[in-house]
Amino acid sequence: MIAGSPRKARRSRGARRTAVAWLFLAPFTLAFLLYTAIPTVAALGFSLTDLRGTDLRHPLAVDFIGLDNYLRLFRDESFLRDLLNTALFVAVGVPLTMGVGFTLALAVNSGIRRLRGVFRTVFFAPVVTNVVAVALIWQYAFNANGTVNEVLGAVGFAGPNWLDDPDLAMPVVILLGVWRNFGTAMVLFLAGLQAVPRDVYEAAAIDGAGRWRQLRHITLPLLLPTTLMVTVLLTVFYLQVFDEPYLLTDGGPLGSTESVALYTYHQFGSGEFGVSSAASFVTLVLVTLVSVVQFRLLRPRT
């Protein structure tokens, strides 16, 4: 970069630098190509073929079938039902998770000094807890003789068998998603709240704004970027929700909790790699759309 140095030397030094840099990047690049780039392209390719699990040993038996898998998907009532289920996960799970996370962030961030760290730790613990273990607890808690029904029984209600009821299973599955994710939302909101300059509140208080008005007219508008980020993050999570329905109900009863991701997995499990890839590509498109919206909305601020 020294001015006046011979161009040739500069270019060869540049080439050397580039070679060294890519050497540093080699392990990541290799993993990226093998497990992200190639699979993404391959998933699209697979979705246009009649690839089955049994074809892995006979690649020549695979035929190109155009958009047949997609046509099949959108004619498959169970896939359409799963799209709706996934929409329900997003529509209920995202606001609920955000609401709990935001409320707790406000509470933890308000006056309390004592126990503040303890509360933050406790509320974040579900995020790092293994979902298989928690799902087990959920199953015991919500079965016919479980803890939840015991509590209900104590106040005179006969509780149902939650996870076997097509109407009640979904709320329980969503609740597990909320329990696992509200800690993430809380921590992000906490970071947002702590970034709000306090003199803004002082000015508002002097002008006679009560707490509710401060919340509505100062906190919420200033937290808009955080809220947007949390929304996108949770939407992407719930669009791909798998662990919760798989572990609690395996999509049942009667498919009432099967998500698109679980459909993808079930098709894969029965050897329908082509159909499975088509379904997974639908998820990719949905997630990409959400990410694009995020970038559009956040760009002016970042």
Partner 1 sequence: MTAVATLENAEPKSADTTTTDRIAVRHRSVARPLLYGALVLCALLTLLPFLWVLSGSLRSLDEIRSDPGAWLPDDVTLDNFTRLFATAGFGRFLVNSIVVAAIVVAGNIVAASAAGYAIAKLDFAGRRIAFGAVMAALMVPFTAVFVPQFVITVDLGLADTLAGIALPSVAMPLSVFIMRQYALSIPDELLEAARIDGAGEFRIFFRIFLPLAGPAVATITIMSFLNSWNYFIWPLIVAQSTSGYTLPVGLAATSQAAAHVTDYGLMLAGAIVVMLPVLVLFLFLQRHFVQGIAGTGMR
Which residues, numbered 129-158, are part of the site for partner 1 (CB under 8 A)? 129-134, 136-141, 145, 147, 150
3-state secondary structure 90-121: HHHHHHHHHHHHHHHHHHHHCCCCCCHHHHHH
**Contacts with partner 1 in 69-98 (CB under 8 A)?**
none
CB of 23 to partner 1, least distance (A): 8
From 69-77, 90-98, 164-172, 197-205, give the range in contact with partner 1 by CB under 8 A: 197-205
**Within the chain, what is the greatest distance between any pair of CA atoms?**
89
Of residues 167 and 250, the one with the C-beta less far from partner 1: 250
Among the listed residues 20, 84, 254, 289, the single contact to partner 1 using CB under 8 A = 20
Using CB under 8 A, pick the residue from 94, 98, 187, 248 that binds partner 1.
187
**What is the identity of the amino acid at 300?**
P
CB of 91 to partner 1, least distance (A): 19
Distance in angstroms (rounded) separating the CA atoms of residues 208 and 225: 27
Q: CA of 81: how far to CAs of 38, 43, 48, 164, in Å?
A: 30, 23, 23, 18
Q: Is 64 helix (H, G, I), strand (E, B) or coil?
A: strand
List the interface residues with partner 1, window 109-128 (CB under 8 A): 109-113, 115, 118-128
Query: What residues contact 179, with CB distance under 8 A and at least 6 apart?
Result: 126, 134
- The binding track of 233-272 with respect to partner 1, each residue x by CB under 8 A or -, is x--xx-xx-xx--xx------------xx--xx--x----
Distance from C-alpha of 178 to C-alpha of 99, rounded to nearest angstrom: 10
Query: By CB under 8 A, is residue 194 in contact with partner 1?
Result: yes
Helix (H, G, I), strand (E, B) or coil at 195: coil
Instruction: Show the binding pattern over residues 273-292: x = contacts partner 1 (CB under 8 A), - = does not.
Output: x--xx--xx-xx--xx--x-
Give the single-character DSSP code of 3.
T
- Which CB atom, from 5 or from 147, has the smaller least distance to partner 1? 147
**Which span (20-28, 63-71, 75-83, 161-169) binds partner 1, by CB under 8 A?**
20-28
